[in-house]
Structure formats: C-alpha cells, structure tokens
C-alpha cells in the first residue's frame, strides 16, 4: 500500500468500492465506504471550523459502534490525532487523560457528556464536545452528532500532512498506575500495516472482527487493515465481546473471516463458544496478542479450527506488533510450553541485551530492544520518561526497551521469558515472576494464574493467585507439589490463593495492581 497518511486509506477505499459495506455493528446497522467517507468529511469540517488542525488532539469517549469508527476517520481527516479512552472506566479518569493530552474537542456519548464537563480537572476550560446520542441539553459551545451529519458541507480540502504527524495517542497504565500516553505517528502505523499487507494475505473479500477496544493497540489492525483492503469491519461491542456463547454464534452468523483478540477470549470461545460443532464457519485467519497463550487452550482452539491460519503476534503498544510466529497446522503432542513470539517483523530490528545494554549470546536470556520506523515518538508530555525508554546505541540508533525478557534460539526466533520489571530477588536469588506463572499454567486444572511479589519486614514473599477450571479440586498442597516438579524450591510460591476469577484490565490482561490490592486486603 503506497501512502503515508491514514486518511488516505478511506479516500482510496471509497473510490474503489463506494457501495461496499465498510463497517457493520451488532445491531445490524451499516455504512458503505461512501457513507463513511461523508460522515468523516462532515466531522472534519466541523472540527476545522472549531480551530482543530494539524497536530491537535481530539478525544474519543463513546462505546464502539458506527459513530466511533466514523469519528476516528473524521479526526484523522482533520489532520488531528485521536485519543481514545475506555468509556466503561470512571469518567474522572477519562477527563484526566484528555486534560493531560491537551485535547481541543471530544466526541462523547450523551450519557457521559455532562459528567465529563463536571469532572474536568483543568487547566483551562473543558473542551468542546460532539455528543453522540440523545442528550438532555447541550452546552451552546457543543454540537450533536446528528446535527453535524445533517451539515450540507463540501468535502474539506486536505490540510498539510506529513508521515511523521501524530496519528493517535494510546494511554496505557504504567507500573505505578499512572497512565502514560504513547504517541504514534502515521509512519509508525504504516510500518505495521505494510507488514500485515505483505505477510498476512488479507483480501477485499474478508470480513474483519473489531473485538479489541479502540484504546487497545490491537484495534489499529482492525480499523486500518480492513480499510486498506476496502473490506468490511464488523464492530463487536463491549458487552458482547466478553460473552463467549453469544460471541461464537455472532462470528458464525456474520461470517467473520479475520479474527484478532487476546488469547483469553479465544480460550473462552474454545471452551464455551460452541465453535467445535461440525460445519462451524471458522475464520480463515486468526491472530492473537497481548498475553501468553498457554498450550492447552491453544491446542483446543487448533482442534476446533484445524484449517485456520493462526499467528502469535507480539509487541508493546510502543511498537505495535514487532515480532510474529505462525502456529503450525498440527501442534506436537509433546509440546508443553507456549510457542515463541517469533522473528522480528521487517523493517524493524531487534537485539537481546543485558542490563548494561550489551548484546547477549544466542541461547542466553536478556531484554528485547527494538528499533525502526514502527517505534513510538515518545510519551506525551513526559520527556524524561521518553528518555528512559530508549537505549541509545553507539551508531546513533535508538532502541526501545520493551522490558520483556527473551531468548534467541540462534535463528532470530525469540522465546518469551516474562517481564524484566517483574524480576525480583529473594534470598539472593533472581526470580522472574512470569516463570512461576508459566509453571502454574502447566497444571491441567488451572484456568488462569498470576503471581506477585510482596515485601515486608521479613523480606520478599511470592504470592500466587489461581483460578481453576470448573469442577477442578482446589488443593494448596497439590498445587505446591506441582510447582516443586517444575521450579526450584526458592521459586515455589509462599502462598497460593484460589479465586473464582482474576481481576483484569479493560483489555482483558491481568490487573496486577488489582491483585496487589487483593493481597493487601487478604493480609
């Protein structure tokens, strides 16, 4: 795909296939590419009239749907960057993110609009709002989505654009719990999109799922690879996305051919989604990322969908996908651990380094660092955090610290070994908490597991939290015995707590901050 600005994707798709469905929602509503382009143009025109221009930020604070997709394209058309925030999170958190990101306007759901104004922390007045849905009243400075979409406005002239312009800011929770805004440019996005176009073999006939929330970086693939192909995007709302039985039926009904989600959702689908029935119209391409996919549920998924092409994609928000591994058609019976995260995706480059930034030999564990045009511009408004995020090589290359520990098998294929920032020392031993989690997942009765370290006057202790599969016996003694068969004694958890479910973030990753609070409450 030639081009350097995401707004060009919609322009070209609307020219190629104006009457083709661009986006559908779970309610059966849809927009053609021509209709999506008109909606984006009208929003861009209104934003320009409000003074929004190249380099500005516009917030997105509404549930997934046709309007959210059109809003993203409209913001990009205006030359601005979109800043999506979880609409299910506390409004005060969203207001804080928008304030720190200096947004000029926010496209917001009607039920959140008044509270967003009230929760605005400053400095300065709250941004102008474009309100989607029936609002009790509108501030004179604001506008309704319906009003904008009735504008008889001409297509705005494209503003000056450059590939290095900011395209979107995705806020992620830092280790301290303070959100940090990852700044991604159009070049960053196209580096990923071009790799997808070359390696994943998507087509104009595909029907793409939109399962990930728009504040989660998996959504970049959904939104823009579908548009790149002038294919159809099927939007899955926040409630349906977490109900496996309904979701399994929805995938079949809507004939979704390209699926992308976290492994935990695919695990639920394999167990409770009814996808194992003969004749189920399985997606032909299934991508997963965001967390380790334990081998037992992955094997179950492969048995349900034997003909699907499966890919394990890896990368922090700061790089989007930077390594990838295609899962074989048959998973060997003797495989007990997760598949590797794979080889680096060109044109990105990868190194494995020690704590001093020196390369380690193949077969040795070290931190994965990434360089290339897919790597973020930095953290918005946090230059010191940005500086700390990079290793500066002697040749002038900036290498992003992923914080993830890997081993290169000698062929450039990386195996994941947990987080560097989850490395603790106990009685002089270096312990990677992710390695303990991997051991727990080897127990056939374990559904999900997570481990944290606690420090008090007696030193460091390791606490494990385990959610068992239905009808499985919960025995601390048996679980500790299992750990001793896979771990040295100093790595066996000091405490094991069985829970019905692990706390998770809005992107279905384990919420380690929540676990620490749970551990404190238990203590």
pLDDT for 2: 42
Nearest to 231 by CA among 155, 189, 187, 285: 285
pLDDT for 305: 97
Mean residue pLDDT across the chain:
92
User: Residues 196-228: pLDDT tens digits?
Assistant: 999 999 999 999 999 999 999 999 999 999 999
Query: When comparing pLDDT for 362 and 156, which is higher?
Result: 362
User: Encoding tokens for residue 229?
Assistant: 């192909």
pLDDT for 242: 87
User: Residues 422-431: pLDDT tens digits?
Assistant: 777 776 666 8
Residue 125's contacts (CB-CB under 8 Å, 6 or more residues apart) are none
Residue 369's contacts (CB-CB under 8 Å, 6 or more residues apart) are 350, 351, 352, 353, 391, 399, 400, 401, 402
Whether the per-residue pLDDT at 249 is higher than 90: the answer is: yes
Query: When comparing pLDDT for 425 and 270, which is higher?
Result: 270
- Asked if omega into 347 is within 30° of 0 (cis), the reply is yes
Band of the pLDDT at 487, cuts 50, 70, 90? confident
Whether the per-residue pLDDT at 1 is higher than 50: the answer is: no
Query: When comparing pLDDT for 520 and 272, which is higher?
Result: 272
Query: Residues of the chain with pLDDT > 70: what percent?
Result: 95
Tell me which of 36-40, 101-105, 385-389, 507-511 is least confident: 507-511
Instruction: Set out the domains of the chain in order of their start, with CATH numbers.
Output: 17-185 (3.40.50.980), 199-339 (3.40.50.980), 349-418 (2.30.38.10), 432-522 (3.30.300.30)
Kind plus residue range of the DSSP H or E element containing 447: strand 446-456
User: Residues 434-468: pLDDT tens digits?
Assistant: 889 988 998 999 999 999 988 765 678 899 999 99
pLDDT for 507: 79
Coil vs helix vs strand at 328:
coil
In degrees and rounded to multiples of 5, residue 370 shows phi and psi of -125, 140
Q: Which residues pair with 109 in a beta bridge?
A: 132
pLDDT for 215: 92
Whether the per-residue pLDDT at 271 is higher than 80: the answer is: yes
The string of DSSP letters for 353-382 reads E-TTSPBPPTTSEEEEEEESTTS--EETT-
Cβ atoms 408, 352 nearer than 8 A: yes
> Average pLDDT of 33-41?
96
The CA-CA-CA angle for residues 89, 90, 93, to 5°, reads 95
Nearest to 510 by CA among 327, 337, 294: 294
- The sign one gets for the Cα dihedral 44, 72, 175, 384 is negative
Nearest to 285 by CA among 193, 392, 202: 202
pLDDT for 175: 46
Measure Cα distances from 511 to 182, 507, 519 in Å. Answer: 19, 10, 12
First to last CA, the chain: 56
> Average pLDDT of 160-172?
88
Cβ atoms 484, 492 nearer than 8 A: yes
Residue 21's contacts (CB-CB under 8 Å, 6 or more residues apart) are 30, 31, 32, 232
pLDDT for 151: 78
> Average pLDDT of 496-513?
89
* 3-state SS, one letter per residue, for 200-236: CCCCCCCEEEECCCCCCCHHHHHHHHHHHCCCEEEEC
Coil vs helix vs strand at 422:
helix
């Amino acid at each position: 795909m030639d081009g350097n600005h995401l707004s060009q994707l919609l322009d070209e798709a609307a020219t190629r296939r104006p009457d083709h469905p661009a986006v559908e929602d779970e309610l059966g509503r849809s927009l053609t590419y021509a209709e999506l382009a008109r909606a984006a143009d009208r929003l861009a025109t209104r934003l320009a009239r409000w003074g929004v221009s190249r380099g500005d930020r516009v917030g997105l604070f509404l549930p997934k749907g046709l309007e959210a997709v059109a809003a993203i394209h409209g913001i990009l058309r205006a030359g601005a960057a979109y800043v999506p925030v979880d609409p299910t999170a506390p409004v005060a958190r969203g207001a804080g993110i928008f304030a720190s990101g200096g947004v000029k306007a926010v496209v917001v759901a009607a039920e959140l609009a008044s509270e967003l104004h009230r929760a605005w922390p400053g400095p300065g007045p709250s941004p102008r709002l474009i309100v989607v849905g029936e609002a009790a009243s509108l501030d004179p400075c604001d506008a309704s989505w319906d009003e904008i979409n009735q504008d008889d406005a001409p297509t705005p002239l494209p503003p000056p654009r450059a590939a290095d312009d900011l395209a979107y800011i995705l806020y992620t929770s830092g280790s301290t719990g303070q959100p940090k805004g990852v700044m991604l440019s159009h070049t960053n996005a196209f580096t990923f999109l071009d790799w997808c176009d070359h390696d994943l073999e998507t087509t104009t006939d595909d029907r793409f799922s939109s399962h990930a929330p728009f504040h989660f970086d998996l959504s970049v693939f959904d939104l823009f690879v579908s548009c790149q192909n002038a294919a159809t995007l099927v939007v899955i709302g926040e409630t349906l996305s977490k109900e496996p039985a309904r979701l399994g039926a929805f995938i079949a009904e809507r004939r979704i051919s390209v699926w992308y989600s976290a492994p935990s959702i695919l695990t639920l689908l394999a167990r409770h989604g009814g996808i194992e029935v003969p004749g189920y119209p399985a997606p032909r391409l299934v991508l997963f990322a965001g967390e380790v996919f334990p081998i037992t549920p992955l094997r179950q998924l492969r048995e349900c969908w034997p003909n699907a092409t499966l890919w394990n994609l890896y990368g922090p928000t700061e790089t989007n996908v930077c390594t990838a591994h295609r899962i074989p058609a048959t998973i060997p019976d003797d495989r007990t651990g997760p598949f590797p995260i794979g080889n680096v995706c060109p044109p990105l480059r990868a190194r494995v380094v020690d704590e001093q930034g020196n390369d380690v030999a193949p077969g040795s564990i070290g931190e994965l660092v990434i360089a290339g045009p897919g790597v973020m511009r930095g953290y918005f408004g946090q230059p010191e955090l940005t500086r700390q995020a990079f290793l500066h090589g002697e040749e002038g290359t900036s290498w992003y610290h992923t914080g993830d520990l890997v081993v290169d098998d000698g062929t450039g294929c990386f195996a994941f070994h947990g987080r560097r920032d989850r490395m603790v020392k106990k009685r002089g031993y270096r312990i990677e908490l992710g390695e303990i989690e991997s051991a727990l997942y080897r127990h056939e009765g374990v559904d999900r597991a997570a481990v944290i370290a606690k420090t008090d006057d007696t030193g460091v202790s390791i606490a494990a939290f385990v959610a068992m599969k239905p009808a499985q016996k919960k025995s601390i003694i048996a679980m500790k015995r299992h750990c001793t068969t896979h771990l040295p004694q100093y790595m066996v958890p000091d405490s094991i707590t069985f829970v019905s479910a692990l706390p998770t973030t809005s992107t279905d990753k384990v919420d380690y901050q929540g676990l620490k609070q749970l551990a404190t409450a238990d203590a």
